[in-house]
Amino acid sequence: MGTLAQQLVNGVVIGAVYGLIALGYTMVYGIVRLINFAQGGLYAAGAFIGLEVVEILQAHRVESPALLILAALAGAMIATGALAFLVERVAYRPLRRAPILSALVSSLAVLFLIENVIQLLTGAQPQTYPSLLGLQPWTLGPITLAPSGLLIVLVALGLMGAMQWFVQRTRTGRAMRAIAVNQEVAGLMGVDVRRVVALTFVMGGALGAAAGVLVGLNYGTITFNMGELAGLEGFTAAVLGGIGNVPGALVGGLVLGLLQSLITIVLPNQWNEAVVFAVLIAVLAFRPRGILGERVAERA
């Protein structure tokens, strides 16, 4: 019973991370219909930028953990957002009218480019994140929860709510939804398509960066290729919840996280990732619109 409850808690924490990465995919896919493979790379870049911010501030004798965490999150989100802007400008915008294959390959190339740059700058060894939130986890009966776990869930929920509000309630959000329905017509109605698409990529990158920093804080180590698997897990969460759907990202993330941590009770740990892949294939094959998705994935 104790392990079950513990696994549920772990599942919610990891699910929140998946949800954040999924949110980045969903924003981009919902609007330009492109699986942005570079999302995983942006997530890794965010984690490393956050670490860099923390190290620089610590070198300048900033001690307050709250300040450090805030600075790491803000710095990583801004810098990765800028990186995503650059990526959109260089690698996607010229391919907007090209076959989908070109854009997919281009985003894969960007993923590998980011990974290789990180590896060149920091080396292949895992990097250690400072534990800023204190080492004592809270215990409640048999369940333990690290403070960073709670932080992940809170930040994920906050960003998710902010996104939902942004997409549904602001003028730019309405422009995004219009572009999702029909890019050409939205343009004719006076929406600055290029600007809004660029903004979407920036937001996706910033969300990925937030997830990267939070994962670093929670698990303590980051590696240059952390984005490959996390990107796939995030994408699975997005598809599971219904890609293009903001609340769906959170639902998909939580379901996937819970499933993954509950499965460890039956299966050895190494098979964990196989579960993700199996869920991905099953969902795409049998229910491509996901749990909450309104839009049916177009069949050829």
Partner 1 sequence: MTGLGRLPLPASAVRLWQARRRPRVRLGLRVGGLALVAGFASAPFWLGNSYDTDVFCDMALWAAIGLGLNVVIGFAGLLDLGYMAFYAFGGYTFATLSLHLGFSLWEALPLGTILAGVASAVFGFPTLRLRGDYLAIMTLGFGGIVDIAANNLSLTGGANGLYGMAPQSVFGYQLSTNNVIGYYVLALALVAVAALATYRFRHAKIGRAWACIKDDELAAAASGIRVTRCKLQAYVLGAIWAGVAGAIFAAKQGLVSPETFTFDQSFFAVAIVVLGGMGSIPGVILGAVLYILISEYFQGITGTYSGLIFSVLLLVTVLVRPRGLIPYTPGQRVRARARDGPPAGAGSAPDPLPLEDFRCAD
- In single-letter form, the type of residue at position 121 comes to L
- The stretch near partner 1 (CB under 8 A) out of 125-133, 152-160, 189-197, 277-285 is 277-285
CA distance 83 to 171: 25
- In single-letter form, the type of residue at position 228 comes to E
Q: How far is the CB of 294 from partner 1 (least distance, A)?
A: 17
How many beta carbons lie within 10 A of that of residue 171, not counting itself?
A: 8
Residue closer to partner 1 (CB basis): 4 or 274: 274
Give yes or no for residue 260 binding partner 1 (CB under 8 A).
Answer: no
CA distance 77 to 123: 23
Of 183-242, binders to partner 1 (CB under 8 A) are 228, 232, 235-236, 239
Give yes or no for residue 110 binding partner 1 (CB under 8 A).
Answer: yes
Handedness of CA 49, 52, 56, 58 (dihedral sign): positive
How many beta carbons lie within 10 A of that of residue 281, not counting itself?
A: 11
How many beta carbons lie within 10 A of that of residue 27, not counting itself?
A: 28
Give yes or no for residue 294 binding partner 1 (CB under 8 A).
Answer: no
| Local structure of residue 35 (DSSP, 8 states) | -
Q: How far is CA 255 from the centre of its chain?
A: 15
Give the SS3 label for residue 294. coil
Give yes or no for residue 288 binding partner 1 (CB under 8 A).
Answer: yes
Give yes or no for residue 88 binding partner 1 (CB under 8 A).
Answer: no
Residue closer to partner 1 (CB basis): 187 or 288: 288
Which of 9, 27, 32, 35 binds partner 1 (CB under 8 A)? It is 35
Which of 102, 125, 128, 168 binds partner 1 (CB under 8 A)? It is 102
Q: Which residues bind partner 1 (CB under 8 A)?
A: 33-35, 90-91, 94-95, 98, 100-102, 104-106, 108-110, 112-113, 115-117, 119-120, 124, 228, 232, 235-236, 239, 268, 270-271, 273-274, 276-278, 280-281, 284-285, 288, 297-300
